[in-house]
Amino acid sequence: MRALLASGILLGTGAIGTSALWSTTAATTSQEFTTANVDIRANGEKSLSFSFPEALLPGRSTAFVIKVQNIGSVPFTYTATVQSPDALGRAVTLSYATGVAPSNGACPGAGTSTTITGTPTEFRATTSWLSPTTGVDALCLQLSLPTTADGALAGQSGSARFIFSATGMP
């Protein structure tokens, strides 16, 4: 019996002595990652100066195409605003059409006119994404001088500032 008790104690301590706590760790390193860039251009330029081709008379218009380009790495939508610092620029109205060439000083299919003021006025807000690196939206911009234009504007020069602002895909 003593031998049996001794072996029971030995077996009991053997079971306790063989249990162990195991642990391990592993480390990983990511591959290189980069940030996206949103890059909008007008006719390939960050800052574009251009002239409308026709001189304006009351009741007439002039038109010019600007290609809004996405040369960044992610799709984007954009808004376009217009403003003018001078009397002639604020006397004309702006309308636009997409994907058309000017004809006889006008943009075929041009929509609603926007009044140009001294502060930025939004005239276009896209809802579809312009594709990265190759996306282009051709805007035919049409300026019209109303028949009711002030005679003091005759022989004057004016300007308009167009600002295109992009928002990248979230």
How many independent structural domains does the chain possess? Answer: 1
Cross-strand pairs, 137: 68
Q: Place 5 in a pLDDT band, splitting at 50, 70 and 90.
A: very low
120 domain residue, yes or no: yes
Residue 112, domain CATH: 2.60.120
pLDDT number for residue 24: 78
112 domain residue, yes or no: yes
| CA 51 from centroid of its chain's CA atoms | 24
Distance CA 29, CA 65 (A): 49
Contact 89, 160 (CB under 8 A): yes
What one-character DSSP code corresponds to residue 6? H
Q: Which residue has the tokens 């009991």?
A: 12
Contact 114, 94 (CB under 8 A): yes
26 domain residue, yes or no: no
Is pLDDT of 17 > 60?
no
Q: Place 47 in a pLDDT band, splitting at 50, 70 and 90.
A: very high
> 111-168: per-residue pLDDT in tens?
999 999 999 999 999 999 999 999 999 999 999 999 999 999 999 999 999 999 999 9
77 is in which domain, residue-wise?
A: 40-46+58-149+157-168
pLDDT number for residue 32: 84
pLDDT number for residue 4: 45
pLDDT number for residue 18: 59
136 domain residue, yes or no: yes
Helix (H), strand (E) at residue 143? strand 135-144
- pTM score, two decimals? 0.79
2 domain residue, yes or no: no
144 domain residue, yes or no: yes
Q: Which two tokens stand for residue 80?
A: 């376009």
Is pLDDT of 40 > 90?
yes
Contact 83, 118 (CB under 8 A): yes
Look at 53 and 108; give whichever has higher pLDDT: 108
CA angle 77, 81, 87 (to 5 degrees): 170
85 domain residue, yes or no: yes
Is pLDDT of 16 > 50?
yes
> 55-90: per-residue pLDDT in tens?
999 999 999 999 999 999 999 999 999 999 999 999
Q: Which two tokens stand for residue 25?
A: 């760790």
